Amino acid sequence: MVVGVNHGGEVVRAQDAAHAEGHDYVKGSPHLRHRKLREDIERRLTALVRDSIARTGACRVLEIGAGHGTFTDVLVAAGARVTVTEASEASAEHLRATYAGDDRVSVFHDETGEFVLDQEETWDLAVMISVIHHIPDYVAFLDRLQGLIAPGGAMFSVQDPLFYPRRSRAAHVASRGSYFAWRLGQGNYARGVATRIRRLRGVYDERAESDLVEYHVVRQGVDEEAIRTLLMEQFDVEVFTYWSTQGPVWQRLLEKTSLRSDFGIQATNHRP
Ligand SMILES: C[S@@+](CC[C@H](N)C(=O)[O-])C[C@H]1O[C@@H](n2cnc3c(N)ncnc32)[C@H](O)[C@@H]1O
C-alpha cells in the first residue's frame, strides 16, 4: 500500500539514514563523477535559469533533494534565487553551513519529503537531480509539483534509470553488468550478497535500507513515458536519454554507442 507518495514516511526515513553525516554523494553518482554527464546538466540548468531571467527578470528555483549542493552552485551562478529541500537532516545541515549568510539560497529540511508540495509559493523552475527514483509514487509527486510552477515556468529532472521493461535488452544487460563490475570493487560484500539473493528471488524488503533508498533502481526503473504523458498537458516536454554508469572505463567505452540507460525530462512553457 502506498501512503502519500513515500510509503507513510518509511522511504524518507531511509533517505535520511542513508545520506547521514559524512555521506559521499560523488562515489556512486555517475552524473557527479563523469565530466561529460555533469557538464550536460550544468549547461541545461544554466540555459533554463537564463531563459527565465530573460522572460521575467528573475528565476525563483525550487531544488528538491539538493544533496551537498553541487548543482545549487550552478543555479546561483546563473542568477537564480534557490530554495533547496533535503529529506536528509545531515545534508540540510551541510547546505545551511555552505550557504550561511548567502541570501540567494534558503535551505529547508523536508522531513516528510512532500511538505514542500503543500506550500502556497510558486516557482519559475523546479529541479530534481537524481531524485525521482527515490520517490515511490513519483507520478503523483510530479502532478502536485506542477501545480506550484508559475505560468511560463519549467520543470527539470535528470539521472533516473529508464523504465526497465522498455529498455533494449542490450542496454539493460550492459547497465546491470557494468554496475556489478563496479560494485565488486566497492567492498561491503555481505550486504551486497544478501541484497542480490533477495533480488534473484524477486523479493523487496520494505524495511531494508537498500530496497527503500534506491527505490526504483532496484525495482523497474522510472517510467519516462508516464511522466511525459502527465506533463505534456501543461508543458512543452523533451525527454532525453543517455548512457550512464558508475565505472569510468565503462562510461567512456559505452557513452558514444547507441546504448541508453538513463533519462532526463525538461518541461518548459507552463500553461496551467
Ligand atoms: C542521489 S542524491 C542526489 C543529490 C543531488 N541532487 C546531486 O545530484 O548531487 C538524492 C537526494 O535526494 C534526497 N531526497 C530523496 N527524496 C526526497 C524528497 N522527497 N524530498 C527532498 N529530498 C529528497 C535524498 O536525501 C538525497 O540527498
Residue 155 included in any domain = yes
Residue 72 CA to ligand 1 centre (angstroms): 12
Rounded Cα–Cα distance for residues 156 and 224 (Å)? 13
Residue 182 included in any domain = yes
- Is the distance from CB of 12 to CB of 111 less than 8 angstroms? yes
- Nearest ligand 1 atom to alpha carbon 114: 19
Give me the CATH number covering residue 202: 3.40.50.150
Give the chain's length: 272
Residue 131 CA to ligand 1 centre (angstroms): 5
Residue 237 included in any domain = yes
| C-alpha closest to that of 74 among 39, 106, 103 | 39
Residue type, position 207, single letter? R
Residue 1 included in any domain = no
pLDDT of residue 3: 43
Closest-CA residue, ligand 1 atom 20, reads 113
pLDDT of residue 4: 60
Domain encompassing residue 202? 8-268
Name the residue of 7, 13, 15, 215 to mutate for ligand 1: max ligand atoms within 8 A of Cβ. 15
Residue 46 CA to ligand 1 centre (angstroms): 20
**pTM metric for this prediction:** 0.91
Q: What is the 3-state secondary structure (H, E, C) of the chain?
A: CCCCCCHHHHHHHHHHHHCCCCCCCCCCCHHHHCHHHHHHHHHHHHHHHHHHHHHHCCCEEEEECCCCCHHHHHHHHCCCEEEEEECCHHHHHHHHHHCCCCCCEEEEECCCCCHHHHCCCCEEEEEEECCHHHCCCHHHHHHHHHCCEEEEEEEEEEEEEECHHHCCHHHHHHHHHHHHHHHCCCCCHHHHHHHHHHHHCCCCCCCCHHHHHCCCCCCCCECHHHHHHHHCCCCEEEEEEECCCCCHHHHHHHCCCCCCCEEEEEEECCCC
Residue 257 included in any domain = yes
Q: pLDDT of the chain along its 272 residues, tens only?
A: 344 666 657 888 887 787 878 788 888 899 999 999 999 999 999 999 999 999 999 999 999 999 999 999 999 999 999 999 999 999 999 999 999 999 999 999 999 999 999 999 999 999 999 999 999 999 999 999 999 999 999 999 999 999 999 999 999 999 999 998 888 888 776 666 777 777 766 667 766 677 788 888 888 999 999 999 999 999 999 999 999 999 999 999 999 999 999 999 999 999 99
Residue 184 included in any domain = yes
Residue 68 CA to ligand 1 centre (angstroms): 9
Our answer on whether the CB atom of 129 is closer than 6 Å to any ligand 1 atom is yes
Name the residue of 91, 127, 131 to mutate for ligand 1: max ligand atoms within 8 A of Cβ. 131
Residue 217 included in any domain = yes
Q: Domain count of the chain? A: 1
Find all residues with CB under 8 Å of 129, minimum gap 6, and list them.
31, 41, 63, 65, 67, 71, 157, 158, 159
- Nearest ligand 1 atom to alpha carbon 67: 4
Find all residues with CB under 8 Å of 227, minimum gap 6, and list them.
132, 138, 139, 142, 157, 239, 265
Our answer on whether the CB atom of 259 is closer than 6 Å to any ligand 1 atom is no
Closest-CA residue, ligand 1 atom 13, reads 65
Residue 2 included in any domain = no
pLDDT of residue 218: 80
